[in-house]
Structure 1
Amino acid sequence: MNFARGSRDYEQLFGVAYRMLGSAYDAEDTVQDAVVRWQSLSDAERAQIREPLAWMTRVVGRICLDQLGSARARRESYAGIWLPEPVPGTVGPAASARPSDPADAVTLDESVSMALLRAMESLTPGERVALILHDVFGMPFAEIGDIVGRTPEACRQLASTARRHLRSEPRFETDDAQRERVVQAFAAACATGDLEALSAVLAPDVVSRADGGGLAGVARMPVVGADRVARYLLGIIRRGETSGLTIDFRFATVNNATGLVISTDGRVAAVIDLAVVDGRVHEIALVVNPDKLAAWA
């Protein structure tokens, strides 16, 4: 097996860890830790493992389960709003992953959307692990039970409870063409400062959340409502322009979907992910924390 960084198996393991932790940095550390454990096995021990990738997935699941409790405590003391770390391009796994059957199960792309990763912060560590491993990766509940220390039936209940919690959240638009049109309209309105056009593409109860990590001048509470959000976003852009900065917008794949990257004087200053439902923006994730933008430089 090839678990080297950049390999197909490595990317799949990273996809598992990132969906559980919402942090690319922590996901990388988790996979590296799992690789060290694999390498520490003797040749005879490795020979007894019939499915190395499945074995590594279980190891990654256990490490993530251990981390989720402490991660929640860190995020509760975070300066302002905590949002997942946006990842450029497509977040694994490889096409060999086996998604689950239930109609309300979380889909592969949906499971890595910024909106759902944020919503999953309300789940318990066991619920999150069971939901991701079963609904997204098709792992049997018996194997999940070995990870979380529960019976298969208890794990089935964990996943079911997690789905019920997430049903109240808007499910993002899966129609790529529809989403592209909305993102383009949003970007054009922001770039031209057209308040009316921007308000029109936002849902009446749209919520904008900004993660500055205490390092950037953005709202530390969610901004709600189409008019308020539109004025807030255009105000941020105007402040930059008034300061003499050259602001550029470009489209990019953010967590498997079209999003926006904003640069000021050639430096990446923000990444924007939009949750699109029924042709309108329902949630905006604005990440300006420099610590979460290193991969976009």
Structure 2
Amino acid sequence: MADGSGPDGGSGSGGSGSDGGSVEVFEEQRPRLTGLAYRMLGSVQEAEDVVQEAYLRWSKATGVEVPAAWLTRVVTNLCLNELGSARVRREAYAGPWLPEPMVTDADPAELRESVSYAMLTLMERLTPAERAVFVLKEAFGYSHREIAGFLGESEANTRQLHSRARRDLTAGPRFRPSEPEQRRLIDRFMTAALEGDLDGLTSLLSEQVTVWSDGGGKVTAARNPVTGRAKVLRLLTGLMLKHADAEPRMLSLNGEPALAFFWDGLLGAVTFFEFDTTGNLTAARLILNPDKLSHL
């Protein structure tokens, strides 16, 4: 996208426009703003809180020439402020902090890669400014000139931030099976788990497979990542014994298949998987914290 033109048709504010404060205009923008905030924060609740704060500011605004750009700038900067305090909270979090899963079926296909669970997890290694630039550029197609206006940075600095973000993100695992292949592999995993087939599970695990469990101190979960085939197998065996009556179900979350487990009719866990080129499981992220599942 050439500099100076963006999906909002510009980035200015002020002037004699009369859209400021219009509920209808804001509601048209809400899904896009929520998607932006979620990619920035990795939390559905925090994203919704930010968008609501943006609405309060919008309700008092007047003379906004380009509402979409004005709102994008406000939401981006609110997210940057939120990320500062969120990182402090996450450092004191009980065990690994994982992003909240989200239903993204309504998102255009070109936006789904930026909201994949693996990508959200990788983005946790970025600084808030790098994350903002990466999301605005890669997911929403803004030019560096527009991003510089949103952030109050120079265009040269946003290019540098974008370059650092891409370098850090491409250092992580990038292979992702097709959706049918993901479903086939997850189905194999689910079948082996349900049948207590330890040999079948073992054959699916890579030697250095790692499992992260996010219980948030609300439910029992491993406080540290579990790495290695033998240790992960013991963890899975323990979970199978503890939740023998769990009902598994394949869901589409974050633009990819995920395995959900229901206990007594209630959603108790969601698991995202990563596989290597040979179809072996290299990583699994298990969200158990009920606060991160209630919106589903």
TM-score normalised per structure 1: 0.86
Q: Let me know the Cα RMSD of the aligned residues.
A: 1.8
Matched, 1:281 2:281: yes
User: Which structure 1 residue ranges, 5 or more long, are not aligned?
Assistant: 100-107
Alignment of 1:37-76 (within 5 A): 37-42=57-62, 45-46=63-64, 49-50=65-66, 52-76=67-91
Aligned equivalents of 1:24, 1:2: Cα separation in 2:
22
Alignment of 1:65-214 (within 5 A): 65-90=80-105, 92=107, 94=108, 108-214=111-217
Q: Check the 8 A contact 1:86/1:254 in 2, yes or no.
A: yes
Cα deviation for residue 240 of structure 1 reads 2.6
Aligned equivalents of 2:171, 2:200: Cα separation in 1:
28
Cα deviation for residue 86 of structure 1 reads 1.0
Counterpart residue identity of residue 173, structure 2? P
| SS of 1:203 mapped into structure 2 | strand
Aligned equivalents of 2:289, 2:106: Cα separation in 1:
20
Encode CA deviations 1:223-248: one digit per residue, 9 max, x unaligned: 1123321321121120233xxxx210
Aligned equivalents of 1:260, 1:157: Cα separation in 2:
38
Q: Check the 8 A contact 1:65/1:126 in 2, yes or no.
A: yes
Aligned equivalents of 2:232, 2:49: Cα separation in 1:
36
Counterpart residue identity of residue 65, structure 1? L
Aligned equivalents of 1:24, 1:58: Cα separation in 2:
19
Tell me which residue corresponds to 2:7: none
- Give the length in aligned residue pairs: 272
Matched, 1:24 2:44: yes
Q: Check the 8 A contact 2:206/2:282 in 1, yes or no.
A: yes
Aligned equivalents of 1:235, 1:183: Cα separation in 2:
19
Aligned equivalents of 2:72, 2:206: Cα separation in 1:
39
Encode CA deviations 1:116-168: one digit per residue, 9 max, x unaligned: 21221111111100111011111111121123332111111101101111122
Q: Check the 8 A contact 2:114/2:138 in 1, yes or no.
A: no
| SS of 2:236 mapped into structure 1 | helix
Cα deviation for residue 74 of structure 1 reads 0.8
Cα deviation for residue 174 of structure 1 reads 5.0
Q: Check the 8 A contact 1:273/1:284 in 2, yes or no.
A: yes
- Deviating beyond 4 angstroms after TM superposition, the runs of 4 or more aligned structure 1 residues are none
Aligned equivalents of 1:127, 1:89: Cα separation in 2:
23
Counterpart residue identity of residue 27, structure 1? A
Q: Check the 8 A contact 2:104/2:112 in 1, yes or no.
A: no
Aligned equivalents of 1:164, 1:72: Cα separation in 2:
22
Taking a change above 3 Å as real, the CA distance of residues 91 and 82 of structure 1, as seen in their structure-2 partners, is farther
Aligned equivalents of 1:89, 1:145: Cα separation in 2:
28
Encode CA deviations 1:30-56: one digit per residue, 9 max, x unaligned: 1111122222123xx13xx13x22321
